[in-house]
Chain A
Amino acid sequence: MKKILMMMASILALCGVLFLTSKQLSAQAGATTQANTLNLYNWGDYIDPGLIKKFEKQTGYHVQYETFDSNEAMFTKIKQGGTAYDLAIPSDYMIEKMKKANLLLPIDQKKLPNFKYLDQHFLDQSFDRGNRYSVPYFWGTLGIIYNDQQVSASEVQHWNDLWAPKWQNELMLVDSARDILGMTLISQGQSVNTTATTTLNQASHKLDQLSINVKAIVADEIKTYMIQEEAPLAVTWSGEAAEMIDQNEHLHYVVPSEGSNAWYDNMVIPKTAKHQRAAYAFIDFMLDPKNAAQNAEYVGYATPNKAAKALLPKKIRQDQQFYPPLKTIEKLEVYQDLGAQKVEQYNDLFLKFKMYRQ
C-alpha cells in the first residue's frame, strides 16, 4: 500500500514538474498576452516564415501559426470552435459553405488600404460576390505534370490524353473526388459543377475506364514521387507542380486548353475571431505588393496581386505554366458548393472508381 502511494505521489510530482517546465518554455517562446496574438490557421508551408517574423516586428503582434491539410478539416475545427482562430485561408467552395453556415465575419475593405493592388480579374468571383467575406491570397489551377524523359509535350495537351493505352499503370492522381471527377467532366465537355445524375454517371463510367492507367491515388506524396521519377505523369495542382519543377528540371506542367478548375485560396475572418484588429493588420500586410511578391516567390503559387506580380522576376511572371494565357483563364471554372447530397454523390462515385478493377 505504501509503495503504491509513493508511486502515485512520484507520478503526480513528475506531472507537476513537466507542466511547470512546459509553461516556462511556452512563456519564453512567446511572451504573449492574450491581447496581442494573431491566431492564424493556414495550410502547411503556405507562407514565407520570414514574412511572419517581419509582421511580428513591424506590428508587435505575435503570430500563432496552426496548419490544416484539408478544407474540410478546417471547417470542422472552426465550426466546433475549440480554438478562436482570427484568420483562416480556405479555398473558394469552402468559403461559400462557411458563408452558408454563418461562420464568417464580413470584411470591411475600407480598413485595407492595400486592397487596391489586387487584380480585378480575380475579384468578385462566384463564391463571394463583391468580396464581402474574403480577400484572395493565391490562385491556381488543376493540370497535368509530366516528365519530359518519358512523355513528350504533344502527348499530354488534353485531359483525354490521359486515357491513352500507352500510360497503363503510369498515372498518378490526387486523392480528391471533386478534382478527378471534375477533370473527367471537362474531358466530356461538361461543367465541373455538374449536378445532373445522368451526366455524373456517364463521367463515372468514363473515369472507371481510366483505372487501368492509374498507378496510385495519393495526396501530398505525389510531390516526392514525381521528383523521384516514380511515375511519368500525374494530375495535380499548379502550386504543388511549381514545387516539383523546382526540384526536378525534367518536369513540366500543363493546363489543358479546353478548360480546368481554377481555385482561389482566400483570407477570411472566422466568427470565432477575438483579435480582429490583428487580422486586418495581417491581411493588409500580406496585400502589400512587396510582401505578396516575396510570398509568391517562396510558395510558388500564382499571386492575384497585380502590383506584386509586376515585382516578380521576369522568368516567373511570364511562365505560362502558372500564369496561363488569358484565353485559357477564361475557360477555367471555379468550384461551387454543390450541397451535402451532391458532394456525397461525387465521393461515392470516386470511391467506386477507387474500388474498380479491370
Chain B
Amino acid sequence: MKKSKQFFMVPYFLWIALFVVAPLLLILYQSFTDGQGHFTVRNYLTYGSSSVYLKMSLNSLWYAFLITVITLLVSYPAAYILSRLKHQQLWLLLIILPTWINLLLKAYAFIGLFSRAGAVNHFLMFIGIGPKQILFSDFSFLLVASYIEIPFMILPIYNAIVQLDPALPNASRDLGASPWQTFRLVTFPLTLSGVKAGVQAVFIPSLSLFMLTRLIGGNRVITLGTAIEEHFLTTMNWGMGSTIGVILIVMMFVIMMLTNDRKKKRREVLDDEKTTL
C-alpha cells in the first residue's frame, strides 16, 4: 500500500518540479544575467539605485494595500451577515458567480459604465452633479480591483465564521459581554485565520495587477507588473524583467510570512482552549 501511495505522488512531484520549482529557478537565474547571458548583479544594482523602480515598488505595495483594506472592509461584514442568512448556499453562489466571468470582460464592462457617455455619468447628470472623469483615475482603479477581488476575501472569512463554534459567542454573552465585546474579543480573533487567508488571496495578486492598470487606470496607475511586461515585450531585457519578478516574489513571501506565522501560533492557542474547554 505504501508503495502505491508513493507511486501516486509521482505526478505531483513532477508537476511541482516542472511547473513551480523550475520556472522559479529560471527566473532567479535570468535575473543574474545580462543580455548576453553573462553573470551579473547589475540588474539588482539598477533596481536599487533607480528612483523610478523604487517608487514603482512602493506604488505597487500601496495600491495592493488599499485594495486589500477596501475588500476587507466590505467583505467581513458581508461574510458575517451571510453566515446568518437563510439561503446561504444561494447567496454564496451569487457571490461566486462573477468569478466565472472572464476578467477582461468585466474590465470592459466597467469601461462602458464609467466612460463619459456611460451609465454612471448619465446618472450623475440626472441627479444634477454633472459628468465627471471617472475612468483613468485612482478611484476607478481601486473600485474595479476591489470588485474583482472581493469574492476571494469573502469566501475564506465566511468559512472561518461558519466553522466558529456557536457555543463560544454564546458563552461570552452568558458571561455578560456586550455584543461589541463578544465580537471584538471572541468572534473576530477566532475568525482571524479566515481574514489572513483572504488577505493573502487578495494582496498577492493585487501586487502585480497590470491589465487593470492599463484598461481602467489608463496607465496613470503604474505597478511593477507594467515594468515586467515592458521588459519582456518591449526592451526584451529579460534579466531586468526577471529581477523585478524576483522582487515581487520576495514581497509575496514576506506577506505570506507575516500572515502565516501568527496563524500557526494562534492555532496552538485554539487547541489549548479546546482542551481546557
Contact = CB atoms under 8 A, between A and B. Distances in A.
Interface of A: 70, 72-73, 75-76, 169, 172, 175, 177, 214-219, 221, 225, 228-230, 340, 343-344, 347-348, 351-352, 354-355
Contacts of B50: 348
Interface of B: 35, 50, 52, 55-56, 59, 111, 115-117, 133, 135-136, 214-215, 218-220, 222, 226-227, 230, 233-237, 240
A340 B235 contact: yes
Nearest to A344: B235
Nearest to B8: A4
Q: Would you list the 10 A-B pairs with minimal beta carbon distance, nearest first?
A: A216-B218, A217-B219, A216-B136, A344-B235, A347-B235, A72-B233, A352-B52, A230-B116, A354-B222, A355-B222
B222 A351 contact: yes
A276 to B, nearest CB: 27
Given A169-B133, A215-B136, A351-B52, A73 B218 contact: no
Contacts of B237: 340, 344
The residue among B111, B116, B219 with the most chain A CB atoms within 10 A of its own CB is B219
Nearest to B117: A228
Contact of B52 (A73, A229, A344, A355): A355
Contacts, number: 74
Given A216-B220, A351-B230, A75 B236 contact: yes
The residue among B136, B227, B234 with the most chain A CB atoms within 10 A of its own CB is B234
Nearest to B213: A354
Main DSSP-derived SS at the B contact region: loop
B136 to A, nearest CB: 4
B106 to A, nearest CB: 15
20 contacts: A169-B133, A175-B219, A177-B234, A216-B220, A218-B218, A218-B219, A219-B214, A228-B115, A229-B116, A230-B117, A340-B235, A340-B237, A343-B235, A343-B236, A344-B237, A347-B234, A348-B50, A348-B52, A354-B222, A355-B222
Contact of A217 (B115, B218, B234, B235): B218
Nearest to B56: A355
A75 B238 CA distance: 14
Given A70-B233, A344-B235, A355-B52, A229 B117 contact: yes
